[in-house]
């Protein structure tokens, strides 16, 4: 029996309660030395009734499945040994799998009930292997019960509209947006959907998930494989690095699989399945996909209940972006199902990009390969978007090329020279820039004129909003042409301003603060906040910050940690490391009156 995805919260409670009860009762030791065999009459009658009216092939399949249960249950009235009971429970577990695969959920649950009744009666003894088998079975059966119940919420062929096409004010608002101010975005994204959606639909169908989920990338990324958000989410499905890693997406210097359409789609499907199993309905699962499962669970708990009867009860409590997320997807479904109703004419979609793979064993630029194949570099870069440097890595790599060009590339591969490895500078400034500290009386317009650039260029490089004001003392990055130096009022060239060096990456350690890091690298907390687009001064251990070191950057970059020992003083530590006391104090943002303590970590320079 199939159930709708929006089944009542009451049934969801029963699922959790049933599993909890199974695990709890399994902790009590049995009171008998043996296990009484289960009488087979009821099971046999059920098997016979199932076979009536079926074809010979269907009857054979039913008998085959029924044999698992019969072999475990058909015994004489004598008692089983503990090992026999465990073995029979294992056969019943296999029987439940067979029933489950055929969609016979009730029979699968009945087999699990019988299996659990067997292992509950296994008597404690000194056999460690037997005890382990029993505990493994108990956990496996409990998990299987959850899986069977969850599958009752999931449509097997993935074609039913499990995402309810509701119409309310929230959905109407998003429809108005997509047909109004966001119309150009919607139509462009719809056109791009043809490149990837057919493959996504197939993967969803194979996994038994609703095909409507194939429209999620439209609101996530506009079907752009290299889409990058302010939250550092990446790719069609907008995975952040940690969630991508959790679902098997590799990321290193050479590749980032969040930008691989196929791999990221498989990861997204796995994540969506987990969320659906957790929440039991698609609307809540989609909200969790956007803001995280724990954020949704936290808001559900504020209602002092353990489940959610209706997604729209949760709507007002969600973060603003997430509260619009589900209505946006439902709006997309309305518009793609019936565009004429909303006065929309949908353009033809782009053709699906058909590719084949060629194993490359050397570092080669994607642009060079595109030239040898007479294809557009943009096309080859798009189908290999996971290549972070637009170059194959220094290990065997399956490069995707347009279908039909694989043999051509293989024939020319030996003639293509190996490319040089580019200097890997993930945060290298482009264009070159210099730093300018705002003085009293200066405005962005004056600064832009001084450096012969534009106000917009300065704002874009510093992540400033169109209406955001700047204050005296702020240090700004000023985009310049290479070698440019501003001309002073007297006509002389200002030569003491040099293009700033590349930024460095700093991993936040326990006890770090913006003030401490800024002092260590001779910059300011404000500069760090602007450069890293931080909403507050709060930092997390392990967080990676971009840092533009100050004038003493070389010393800061060459510094290392030193743990203060009993009896140490700033002067003693400075002498140990051949540093001036003033240098040591400045590096650690200390004053001559500052106190240091044993166990404290300070920075010293390496000679």
Residue 348 lies in a domain: no
Q: Is 26 helix (H, G, I), strand (E, B) or coil?
A: coil
Q: What span, in angstroms and rounded, lies between the C-alpha atoms of 271 and 275?
A: 6
For residues 434 and 387, membership in a common domain is answered with no
* Confidence label for 10 from pLDDT (cuts 50, 70 and 90): very low
Contacting residues for 135 by C-beta, under 8 A, at least 6 apart: none
**Does residue 421 form part of some domain?**
no
Q: Are residues 202 and 285 in the same domain?
A: yes
The answer to whether residues 288 and 337 belong to one domain is: yes
pLDDT digits (tens, 9 = 90+) for 303-323: 655 444 456 666 667 766 667
Pair (13, 104) in one structural domain: yes
Same domain, 311 and 205: yes
Catalytic, out of 220, 262, 316, 505: 220
Do 567 and 442 belong to one domain? no
Same domain (yes/no): 123, 23: yes
* pLDDT (average), residues 111-124: 83
What whole-number distance in Å separates Cα of residue 113 and Cα of residue 236?
43
**Would you place residue 551 in the very low, low, confident or very high pLDDT band (cuts 50, 70, 90)?**
very low
CB 351 within 8 A of CB 359: no
Res 381 pLDDT > 80: yes
- Are residues 279 and 184 part of one domain? yes
Higher pLDDT, 220 or 532: 220
Question: How crowded is residue 149: how many other Cβ atoms within 10 Å of its Cβ?
Answer: 22
pLDDT band at 463 (very low <50, low <70, confident <90, very high): low
Instruction: Specify the CATH number for the domain of residue 458.
Output: 3.10.350.10
**Parent domain of 382:** 355-415
pLDDT band at 79 (very low <50, low <70, confident <90, very high): low
Rounded to an integer, what distance in angstroms lies between the CA atom of residue 90 and that of residue 549? 63
Q: Which helix (H) or strand (E) holds 397?
A: strand 397-402
The reported pLDDT for the residue numbered 549 is: 58
Q: What is the mean pLDDT of residues 557-574?
A: 78
Q: What is the pTM of this model?
A: 0.48
pLDDT for 74: 44
Give the lowest-confidence range in 56-70, 261-275, 377-391: 56-70
pLDDT higher than 80, residue 13: no
Question: How do residues 143-168 score in pLDDT, each as one tens digit?
Answer: 888 777 665 544 333 433 478 888 98
Evaluate whether residue 157 is within a structural domain: no
CA distance 233 to 225: 11
Domains in the chain, number: 5
Q: Are residues 176 and 300 in the same domain?
A: yes
CA distances from 522 to 126, 179, 517, 551, 577 (A): 66, 50, 8, 7, 20
Both 73 and 208 in a single domain? no
312-326, 339-353, 429-443: which is most confident: 339-353
- Taking residues 233-237, report their average pLDDT: 91
Residue 162 designated active-site: no
Burial class for 522, CB neighbours closer than 10 Å (0-12, 13-18, 19+): middle
Is there a single domain that holds both residue 467 and residue 571?
Answer: no
Q: Does position 420 have pLDDT exceeding 90, yes or no?
A: no
| Same domain flag for 508 and 496 | no
């Amino acid at each position: 029996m199939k159930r709708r995805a929006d089944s009542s919260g009451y049934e969801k409670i029963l699922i959790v309660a049933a599993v909890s009860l199974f695990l709890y009762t399994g902790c009590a030791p049995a009171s008998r030395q043996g296990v009484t065999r289960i009488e087979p009459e009821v099971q046999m009658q059920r098997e016979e009734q199932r076979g009536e009216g079926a074809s010979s092939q269907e009857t054979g399949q039913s008998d085959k499945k029924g044999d698992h249960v019969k072999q475990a249950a058909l015994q004489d009235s004598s008692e089983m040994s503990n090992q026999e009971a465990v073995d029979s429970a294992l056969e019943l577990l296999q029987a439940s799998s067979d029933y489950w695969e055929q969609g016979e959920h009730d029979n699968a649950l009945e087999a699990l009930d019988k299996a659990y009744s067997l292992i509950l009666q296994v008597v404690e003894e000194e056999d460690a292997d037997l005890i382990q088998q029993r505990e493994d079975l108990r956990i496996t059966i409990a998990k299987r019960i959850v899986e069977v119940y969850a599958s009752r919420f999931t449509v097997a062929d993935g074609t039913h509209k499990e995402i309810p096409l509701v119409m309310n004010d929230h959905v109407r608002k998003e429809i108005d947006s997509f047909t109004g101010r966001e119309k150009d975005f919607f139509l462009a994204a719809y056109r791009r959907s043809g490149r990837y959606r057919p493959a996504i639909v197939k993967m969803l169908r194979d996994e038994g998930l609703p095909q409507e989920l194939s429209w999620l990338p439209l609101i996530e990324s506009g079907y752009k494989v290299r889409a990058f958000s302010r939250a550092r989410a990446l790719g069609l499905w907008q995975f952040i690095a940690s969630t991508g890693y959790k679902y098997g997406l590799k990321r290193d210097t050479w590749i980032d699989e969040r930008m691989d359409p196929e791999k990221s789609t498989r990861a997204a499907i796995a994540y969506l399945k987990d969320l659906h199993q957790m929440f039991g309905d698609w609307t809540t699962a989609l909200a969790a996909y956007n803001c995280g499962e724990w954020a949704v669970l936290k808001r559900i708990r504020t209602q002092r209940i353990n489940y959610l009867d209706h997604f729209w009860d949760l709507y007002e409590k969600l973060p603003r972006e997430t509260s619009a997320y589900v209505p946006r997807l439902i709006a997309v479904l309305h518009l793609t199902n019936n565009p004429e109703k909303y006065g929309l004419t949908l353009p033809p979609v782009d053709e699906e990009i058909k590719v084949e793979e060629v194993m490359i064993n050397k570092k080669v630029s994607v642009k060079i390969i595109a030239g040898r194949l007479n294809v557009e570099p943009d096309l080859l870069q798009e189908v290999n978007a996971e290549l972070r440097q637009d170059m194959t890595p220094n290990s065997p790599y399956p490069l995707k090329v347009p279908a039909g060009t694989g043999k051509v590339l293989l024939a020319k591969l030996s003639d293509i020279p190996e490319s040089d490895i580019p200097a890997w500078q993930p945060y290298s400034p482009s264009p070159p820039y210099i730093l300018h500290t705002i003085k009293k009386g200066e405005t962005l317009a004056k600064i832009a004129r001084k450096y012969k650039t534009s106000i917009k260029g300065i704002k874009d490089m510093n992540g400033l909003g169109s209406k955001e004001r700047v204050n005296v003392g702020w240090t700004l990055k000023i985009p310049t042409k290479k070698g440019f130096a501003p001309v002073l009022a007297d006509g002389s060239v200002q030569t003491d301003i040099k293009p700033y060096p590349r930024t460095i990456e700093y991993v936040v350690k326990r006890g770090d603060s913006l003030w401490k890091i800024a002092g260590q690298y001779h910059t300011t907390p404000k500069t760090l906040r602007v450069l890293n687009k931080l909403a507050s001064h709060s930092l997390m251990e392990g967080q990676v910050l971009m840092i533009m070191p100050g004038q003493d950057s070389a010393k800061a970059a060459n510094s290392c940690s030193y743990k203060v020992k009993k009896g140490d003083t700033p002067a003693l530590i400075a002498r140990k490391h051949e540093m001036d006391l003033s240098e040591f104090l400045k590096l650690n943002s200390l004053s001559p009156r500052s106190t240091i303590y044993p166990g404290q970590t300070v920075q010293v320079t390496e000679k």
